[in-house]
Amino acid sequence: MLVLSTAHLHCEDAAFAYLEAKLWPNGPVCPHCGWMGKHYDLAKTRRGLRKCAEKQCRKQFTLKVGTVFESAHIPLHKVLQAVYLLCASKKGVSSHQIHRALGITYKSAWFLTHRIREAMREGALAPMGGIDGMPGAGGIVEADETFIGREPGKPKARAYHHKMKVVSLVDRDSGQVRSVVVDDIKPETIWPIIEENIVKEATLHTDES
């Protein structure tokens, strides 16, 4: 049987069952708290939906949460088709090809292919602010936060309360930009991101906030 004829590439229920077996070989794990005990099956409400039974959590989840498939409105079996096509092609597959093959919009195909390629990328990002050939020397990195778009599930409100919070770092010497979506803009949230992404020798430039 051809790989592209397998059930999980054509049937949504089979796609969920296939990924659950791969992701949770020993049973469901709550992506919010890591609970591996009892879960409530809410599949009658929505395909693959579960609720954590841990008293301190009680959050709902599916296998998509915390993965490359999260928040994707494209059927899961089509996403798996795109993963297969990207992995199986020696010369790569363009977003236009995915758009035509899967019968989805080009915009959806573009976001999907970029998300899959990012998940396939190896290694961690090198810290910013270093100067090549000058050990112990650091450049200048600028940091600032902004608010864009709208957080999923949040009603529109005044100011920025309904928008996504993004912290951006800019290496002044190389022009490299790195952005991270955060839950809030409190110092205790932002500081670990700065420590992880900037060399110790770099000079940090930011505003008063």
Q: Which helix (H) or strand (E) holds 142?
A: strand 140-148
Three-state secondary structure call for residue 151: coil
9 and 84 in a single domain? The answer is yes
User: Facing residues of 204 across strands?
Assistant: 141
User: Facing residues of 181 across strands?
Assistant: 166
Range of the domain at 155: 140-205
- pLDDT digit string, tens, across residues 55-93: 889 999 999 988 888 878 899 999 999 999 988 887 778
Angle, CA 189 vertex, CA 111 and CA 52 arms, to 5°: 70
Of 56, 89, 122, at which residue does a domain stop?
A: 89
85 and 8 in a single domain? The answer is yes
Residue 174 lies in a domain: yes
- pLDDT digit string, tens, across residues 164-198: 888 888 988 878 888 888 888 888 888 888 888 88
